[in-house]
Each structure stands twice: as C-alpha cells, then as structure tokens.
Structure 1
C-alpha cells in the first residue's frame, strides 16, 4: 500500500464514518420520538400505539417502494451481493447510482428502523456507503472496486465497533477473494478512520457490550465443560438461523403474489410486526439491545417461553423482509440465536449461561451470514473476553453443521436488484 492509497483510504473512510454517524443519529432521533423503550409514545393504549406506529411505518415503506420496488434493495444479502460484484468487477465500471436512488434507499432504511422493524441498520448503511463511494471514485481517481471496499469498511467499522470484521466481510465468501485481499491494508486504514469519525458524531456508538454473569471458569476443566455447553447451545441456534434463511425467499414470493400492491404488502408486514411486538416487546427493533434484557430476565423464562420468543422473533423478521421493509438480518438472527442458546440454560441449570448465550449469537450469525470469521470479529465488540471462546465455538459448530448438511442446508438468497 503506497502513501497515496493510504491517504485516500483515510479520507474516504473518515467521510463515510461521519455520514454513517449522522444516519444513525437520525434513526435514533426518530425512534426516540416514536418510542419509549418498546412502548409507543402516541397518546393511545399500549397495544394500539404499537399497531399505529408499525402499520403507519408500513404505509410509508410501501409509498417509498411504489413504482421502484424492483430496483430497490431488500436486505443485507442484496447489499452483500452488490458489494461482491463491485469488489470483483473487471472491465468497464458500472455507473454510479443516481442521487435520488441513494436518497430513496436511505430514507427507506430510516423509516423501517424508526418504525420498529425487526431489522438492523447494517444493510442501509452498506448500500448508502457503497453508493457514495462509487460517486466519489472518479473524483478521487480510484477504481469502483476500491471505492466500494473502502466505503463499506468505513461504514461498518463504527457500527460493529472495530475494524477487523468490516474489512473481512468483503473477503470471506467472496467470488474474487484475491482482489479483496489486495485491499486489506487500505481497508484497515479506512475502517479505523471510519470508526474514529463515527464516534466523533455518535460518541456512545450504536452498539453495546453485554454485561454477562461470571462464567465461573477457574480451571481448564471448567473451560472444557463451558465449551461443551456452548457446543450444545449452538445446535438450536444454528437451526434458528436456518429457519430465517429458509423462510425469506418463499414468504417474499408469497407476499408479492397475494398482495401485488407494495403499500398493502408493507402495511401487512407492519401489522404482523405489531402483533409480535404486542405478544413480546423484545421482538421489536433489531435485537442487539434487547439481548441484554433477555439475559437479565432469564430466571423468569422457561424453555417453552424462550422457544416461543425465538419463533416470534423469526416471524417478525420474516414479515419485515417479505413485505419490503429495509434492513439487515444479522442482529435479529443473533437475538434469535441467543434466545435459542439460553433454552439450554433453562433446561439444564448446570449449564454455563455466559457460554450458551455467546455461542448462540456466534452460531446463528454464522448460519445466516455464512461468514464465520467475520461474524466472530464483529462480536468481539459485544462480548467480553471470557465469552469469546464460546462465540468461536458457536460459529464453528454452525459451520460444521452446514458442511455436514451440504446442499440440504438453506442458502442465503438475494433478489439481485437490477441496475440502478
């Protein structure tokens, strides 16, 4: 990496980090206007308030998608497919997305997240960052591949609290790994710049660090036992991730066939989201903050209650993904995985709570994203050091199950948006 490349990575990463921080501040501001925790701020009874916000949000989502549904991104997998295409692009560069397309995609994400969608901000941020990077490529005299990679690294670094996962995401499972690997050095510079810049705009960041109970690991034998519990918890968490993958494309096709109107479809998704939120408020929003609430109330939850929570979270997420709401599925999958992992602790009091909680997160994230290394690096920010071996164990078990199932394992699918 020469000096010019390092400087450009620094500048682009910092600029994208600032814009990402502003984007997240806007989302937080609107969420605060509409919600107090998981309760609506509207002057209505709790259930009616949730219905009004979620269905009203669906109305706005549908209006934004009207006449532009086919060329608008749907979820994180769409964004990752586009990122991989850009990073590995050869020959004539693809035209940069139009400004109005970027504004519509950004607004679609803001509305979805503010209205309580069971989705994360990573997909809108990634789409926005790549689009802005492409538009800056010619001015900075860099290729579209470099612009997309550096922009993605700068945007996701602040969101996930560190540079490692964001630079690995475009490399792992890439169709052009050599091309992506050549940009790793510049990607780290852009990631660090994006992280610092985002924290300048959003001092408390967008995530949190889970406060876990003492793992009670004092000896090597204790560690071995904890990892055994982690491996056991990773199994239901992996299949929770599979359920999310298996349901996304069929339910989207079903929703489009039964409800051709984008407005009606998105409002129906908001209705299902609201009903899930009324049944269990923890199913609203992306899930990373709700994970701490889930852990803190574990003593009040049975195995069946946790299983029902996993099902409700998956239903809420699938309802959003299938009906046009825009966001990412990493955080909802991780929440479902943590709840599935805690089922082991609820069933077996001797289980190590910290281990099963962390392993569930790693397993579900790896099952959905199919990038176990990137998922593990992302989760470094959310889990304290004693839990990291359990995260690795969970991701490893999920990867093993995927390998054993082969073609029978559900695969991530993309609607593959058309040219902008």
Structure 2
C-alpha cells in the first residue's frame, strides 16, 4: 500500500509538472504570436492603408514602386519621436537573439520579469519601417514573458521533482543543497519545455489566424558543372558584404555613442538616412523577409546592378538602425542581402542563382557571427535542404578570413569551431 501511494504521488507530480509547463508555454507562445500579429497590423495600417487614404497607393510589387520621400520621412520622423519618448520613459534595450539566448543560458532568466516594456520597445521600430528583423524583438518578448510567468512556477516545479524522486508528498523547499540543486533543475525543465510548447503554440496560432513569421522558400538548385566556376566569386561577394556589415556595425556604434544623451537627435538622424535610402532604392524598409520572394520574382527586371546596390545598402542601413536607436534583429536582413547577391551574380553570369545564393549568403552570415554551423542552419530557413553542404563549406571558409581590428568584430579563428 505504501509503495502504491508513492507511485500515485509520482504520477500526480508528473501530471502537475506537465500541466504547469504546458500552461507556461502556451502563455509565452501566445504572447510571441501577439507580437507578430501586432507588428503585421501596425505595418499594414501605417504603410498600406494610410497611403491608400492619402491617394498614394500601396506597394505595387510588379513595378517595385516606392513611397515618396515626404511620406517616408514623415512616418519615420514620427517613429523617431515615439522611440525617443519610449526610451526616455523606460530605457529597455532590445537585445539581439544570440544575446538573449546567452543570457538565458547563463542566468536562467531574461530581464526583470516585465513583458510590456520589451514588447513596446521591440514593436515600435518594426512598425515605423526600421530595416531590421523581427526575430530579436520576438526573442525579447518570449524571453521576458518566459521569465515573468515561469519564475512563479520554479518552486512548485522543484517540489514536483522532489516528489518524483522520493515519492514523498509535495512540500515547500527545505533550504538544503539538494533543494537548491532541485531549484536549478526545475528552472531548466520549466524554461526548456515551456520554450518547446511556446514554439508549438506560436506556429499553431500563426497557422490558424494567418499571422506570424513566414519566410519564403527558394526553389531547388538546378546547376551544371560550369556553374562551379562561379562558386568562389559568389563566396567572395558574400565575404565582402559581411565585412561591410561588420565595419558598418562598428561605425554605427561609434556614431550612436557620439550622440550621447541626445536620443531624439540620434533617432531623427537615423530616420533621415532610412528615408533617403528607401526613396533611392526599393525594398529598404522592414526586415526584407516578406519581400524576398517578390524581389526574386522580379530579379531579371531589377538587373544585377540594382540587386547589388540593394544588398550593399542593406548592409549599411541595417547596422545603422540597430546601433542608432532603431533596434531589432540582424539575421533576416542578412538573409535578404545574401540571397540578393546570389541572384545578382546569377543574373550577370547565367549561373544558377540559388547555387550562387548558397555561397554568398553562407559566407555573409559567417563573416558576421563567426559560427559556420549556425550560419548554415539559419540559411536553411529559406534555402533548399540540398544546399546545406554548400552553405557549410562557404560559411566555414568565410569564418577563417580575418577582419581589421578597427572593425571591432569577432576575430577570425584559424580553425573555427562549429
């Protein structure tokens, strides 16, 4: 009878632990989806419906038309003011996704448990056209919400794990070393399992409601042996673009520091630069992932020179936004730039553009983050699976190329780790 009670307690503790984990993950995933839905709604209202009401029309994808300078500048100036007010009111910094992951791994938490400041700080730049990716904002919202709703469950989760281990009734912590170990284990269990549940809920809600991050998929690689001659040029242009991205990141950081406490002036400068670039070239606003398939379809219409100009401008304006007040993610814009460079080379030489894009994009991202395997895995979000060996080779070779110390990037390794 005593053994049966222990078994029942263990089963009950497992059920309770699973229920808490699923509940936490559902909340985190729902908040992440809400962030994506709010971003899409804001962009539609500001950049599509408002121009229609003003008689400007929306984005005409077939002709790659842009908004007039006065409209883009007006919207971005309004965004600069909103960002400055928000930063003065609650100076929460939107951390890149790799920084969020590193902090969670080190401390088991992200932020101070407040969700709304991260939600607002991540949403505003995206809504007003910043050339950054939404993945950083999404990571900040998920990390802060996971900390907020998971922290209250860690003690109960530790008690559940203690019951699973001993079969004793649930009770509060006893302050022993074993209890402290259980607290750490409970935090890891809740955070990791809730993250998995949150991802499922996030994509589930996105499929049901039609909102959420949706990356385009490029077609199959259709290349012949003659295309191999363009592998090194494709990787070289990715390396050059990655070096430009890192160098511009360093310059933008110095520029942001130069403005000091003049937050509004810094944001207005970025708004002006973003407006000018977005008027001269198409596809400069937002992260690029939603318009990548459009640009790919019209690559021949744009021409190689235009495509290279778009990719280079992206490698300049995105680091400026990230480091001068309009913060967000760097991965989606880098994916966009790498693919565009590949299509530019393919259009100029007749080589398979997807083959060229695999070399250029893998090299670009690896030059910036210096993690070949991570770079290759990131590009699989849009590239066909068959391109993975090309992505990995290109990323590995690019990560071995040194950069000047003045760039302030991660130094090259002789044998970079995967």
Query: What's the TM-score, normalizing by structure 1?
Result: 0.73
Task: Give the Å deviation of 1:29.
Answer: 0.5
Pair 1:208 & 2:209 matched: no
CA deviations 1:316-353 (Å, max 9, x no partner) are 2133123211210101111111122223213311x111
Partner of 1:62: 84
Partner of 1:254: 255
User: Partners in 1 of 2:371 and 2:197 — Cα distance?
Assistant: 24
CA deviations 1:352-399 (Å, max 9, x no partner) are 11212233333323333333333433443433444x33xx42343233
Q: 1:292 to 1:227 in 2, by over 3 A?
A: farther
CA deviations 1:149-200 (Å, max 9, x no partner) are xxxxxxxxxxxxxxxxxxxxxxxxxxxxxx99x979984x545422331133
* Contact preservation (8 Å) 1:74, 1:325: no
Partner of 1:288: 289
> Aligned Cα RMSD in Å?
3.5
User: 5 Å matches for 1:42-53?
Assistant: 43=54, 46-47=67-68, 48-53=70-75
Higher RCO (C-alpha under 8 Å, 6+ residues apart): 1
Pair 1:411 & 2:412 matched: no
Pair 1:402 & 2:414 matched: no
Partner of 1:380: 380
CA deviations 1:232-281 (Å, max 9, x no partner) are 42321232122112221332222331464111111211111111111122
Partner of 2:325: 324
User: Partners in 2 of 1:216 and 1:82 — Cα distance?
Assistant: 38
* Contact preservation (8 Å) 1:6, 1:186: no
User: Partners in 2 of 1:122 and 1:247 — Cα distance?
Assistant: 20
Partner of 1:169: none
- Please, which runs of 5 or more residues in structure 1 have no aligned partner? 145-178, 414-420
CA deviations 1:28-69 (Å, max 9, x no partner) are 1111101129x9456275312111112211121122112655
* Contact preservation (8 Å) 2:21, 2:194: yes
Partner of 2:106: 88
Q: 1:238 to 1:80 in 2, by over 3 A?
A: same
Greater mean alpha carbon deviation, residues 55-64 or residues 376-385: 376-385
**Which of 97, 104, 126 is residue 112 of structure 2 equivalent to?**
97
Partner of 2:40: 28
User: 5 Å matches for 1:7-406?
Assistant: 9-36=21-48, 40-41=51-52, 43=54, 46-47=67-68, 48-66=70-88, 69=91, 72-76=92-96, 79-89=97-107, 97-99=112-114, 102-141=115-154, 187=192, 189-190=193-194, 192-203=196-207, 204=210, 205-212=212-219, 215-216=221-222, 222=224, 229-230=230-231, 232-258=233-259, 260-349=261-350, 351-386=351-386, 388-389=387-388, 392-405=389-402
* Contact preservation (8 Å) 1:362, 1:379: yes
User: Partners in 2 of 1:227 and 1:103 — Cα distance?
Assistant: 50
User: Partners in 1 of 2:394 and 2:333 — Cα distance?
Assistant: 19
* Contact preservation (8 Å) 2:250, 2:409: no
Task: Give the Å deviation of 1:83.
Answer: 3.1
- Please, which runs of 5 or more residues in structure 2 have no aligned partner? 1-12, 57-66, 158-183, 412-418
Secondary structure of residue in 2 paired with 1:215:
coil
Secondary structure of residue in 2 paired with 1:141:
helix
User: Partners in 1 of 2:214 and 2:19 — Cα distance?
Assistant: 28
Query: What's the TM-score, normalizing by structure 2?
Result: 0.74
User: Partners in 2 of 1:135 and 1:185 — Cα distance?
Assistant: 12
Q: 1:191 to 1:377 in 2, by over 3 A?
A: farther
Q: 1:81 to 1:195 in 2, by over 3 A?
A: closer
User: Partners in 2 of 1:40 and 1:216 — Cα distance?
Assistant: 40
Secondary structure of residue in 2 paired with 1:338:
helix
* Contact preservation (8 Å) 2:136, 2:328: yes
* Contact preservation (8 Å) 1:14, 1:193: yes
* Contact preservation (8 Å) 1:320, 1:326: yes
Aligned length: 356
Higher Rg: 2
Secondary structure of residue in 1 paired with 2:400:
helix
Q: 1:233 to 1:105 in 2, by over 3 A?
A: same
* Contact preservation (8 Å) 2:249, 2:319: yes
